[in-house]
Structure 1
Amino acid sequence: MTGLLPSPIYPVVDHPRWIERLGAAGARFIQLRLKDLDSETLRAQVIEGQEAAARHNVRLVLNDYWELALELGIDYIHIGQEDLDTADLEQIRAARISFGISTHSHEELDRALSVEPDYVALGPIWETKLKKMIWGPQGVEKLSEWRRIIGPAMPLVAIGGITKDRAASCLSAGADSVAAVSDFIASADPEAQVSEWLKACSS
């Protein structure tokens, strides 16, 4: 268990160039979520992201590819519920790699807590069009419920439909960190967005 997360803002990005840009702007906790790449391109992009993270003191989270994370020594792995069936958590712990788990229901939360992750994520808090979800919007009230269930020591991440203006309400409801995709990488000025998010989450 790592205790507090590295930052109250948690951009989720689809290419290592964003780690360079957002890290230079002050983001310190970034998830690299890569999809549909051949193994050689995947490995090259993860290494590129790892190098950018090192330059900017970013704690890098790799989504899903736990074996590659073990090989390269990535800081964190984010694991979906389906990945819990195959991920070797003993190996991950032995390598001192932190891991977080997505949750969308009480059953999934119970399953996540049974393996003692370093954080749990709840989503989608609001409707999101970036990812097809079988789960409807959870709402900030569910964050408060998750906080009561998991206790004060387990870090909690909010994700799904979150904007800069919605971030503070998630933190007030019990989240330790707020994740977003489009509000960063689809912004006209992603670097300024990092500053605005940091300001919004510290007020």
Structure 2
Amino acid sequence: MSGLPQKIYPVVDTARWVDRLGGAGARFIQLRVKELEGEALREEIRQAHIFARTHGVCLVLNDYWQIALEEGIDYIHLGQEDLDTADLAAVRKAGIRFGLSTHSHEELDRALSFKPDYVALGPIWPTRLKKMAFGPQGVAKLTEWKKLIGDLPLVAIGGVAFEGLKPCLDAGADSVAAVSAFTQHADPEGQIKRWLTEAGA
């Protein structure tokens, strides 16, 4: 077992996507909300949590660890910059699992010192969705990372289209994350089913 709920890992920006993609069979979804704050942000997260429970989805909240603590979210994802301020002792005490982003050996070493539940490597291919300080890593880096982390689950993210799913899994990724491959596709639900079939999930 990879230790992760599913080999595909959609990343979405609204609760509605959790409903749609969860209804299509995705069971491991990250909510990455960037445009809301205050009560609107909290309400979006609450609604996503409701949809997640409805569909049996493991919801991963990006960044907002304090809200995860307050709302009982099961999983969070943090970037390297979040490690400077996040109270991971409180997160662990609450039984919340967490994944960490990595882009370099230094970041991987730092991430492993926090004993995360998974590490993510990216971007595997060029991505236009997010300004990145690091260039494309390529699938060979996934194999290298997997050798370094052993049984710890590895997530591939960044610029992954359907054609890149199998190469990422073959290179050592336990789960493959994608954003636009789902949310910008004409048939997002169909893509979930297609990815699940390709992943053998």
User: What range is the shorter-chain TM-score in?
Assistant: over 0.9
User: Bigger shift: 33-42 or 174-183?
Assistant: 33-42
Measured after TM superposition, the shift of residue 38 of structure 1 is: 2.1
The letter of the residue matching 2:96 is I
Aligned length: 201
Please list the CA deviations of residues 82-113 of structure 1 after superposition, one character each: whole Å capped at 9, or x if unmatched: 00001011100011100000000000000000
1:165 corresponds, among 154, 163, 166, to 163
Residue identity opposite 1:43 in structure 2: R
Structure 1's consecutive aligned runs of 4 or more residues displaced over 3 angstroms after TM superposition are: none
Match for residue 60 of structure 2? 61
**What are the residue-to-residue correspondences of 1:7-26 with 2, within 5 Å?**
7-26=6-25
**Corresponding residue SS for 2:81:** helix
Deviation, structure 1 residue 61: 0.2
| TM-score under structure 1 length normalisation | 0.97
**In structure 2, how many angstroms separate the alpha carbons of the residues matched to 1:72 and 1:180?**
25
Report the TM-score when normalising by structure 2. 0.98
Residues of 2 paired with 1:143 and 1:3: CA distance? 15
Structure 2 counterpart of 1:6? 5
SS in 2 for 1:50: helix
Alignment gaps of 5+ in structure 1: none
Alignment deviations for residues 144-199 of structure 1 (CA, whole Å, 9 cap, x no partner): 00001111x10000000001111011011000000000000001000000000001
* Other structure's SS at 1:178 match: strand
Equivalent of 1:185 in 178, 183, 186: 183
Residue 122 (structure 2) aligns with: 123
In the alignment, the residues of structure 1 paired with residue 110 and residue 2 of structure 2 have an alpha-carbon distance, to the nearest angstrom, of 20
1:89 equivalent in alignment to 2:88: yes
* Pairwise CA distance, 1:37: 1.3
Report sequence identity in percent.
Answer: 63
Q: Deviations over 1:132-153 (max 9, x none)?
A: 11110000000000001111x1
Return the match for 1:197 from 195, 198, 201.
195
Matches within 5 A, 1:21-170: 21-151=20-150, 153-170=151-168
Listed as ranges, the gaps of 5+ residues in structure 2 are none
Alpha-carbon contact 1:77-1:99 (below 8 Å) kept: yes
Contact 1:165–1:200 under 8 Å retained in 2: no
Does the 8 Å CA contact 2:2/2:174 hold for their aligned counterparts?
no
Contact 1:171–1:177 (Cα < 8 Å) also in 2: yes
User: 2:175 and 2:38 mapped to 1: Cα distance?
Assistant: 31
- C-alpha distance in 1 between matches for 2:135 and 2:49: 33
What SS does the corresponding residue of 1:149 show, helix, strand or coil?
Answer: helix
How far apart, in 2, do the equivalents of 1:98 and 1:3 lie? 15
Q: Secondary structure at the match of 1:40?
A: helix
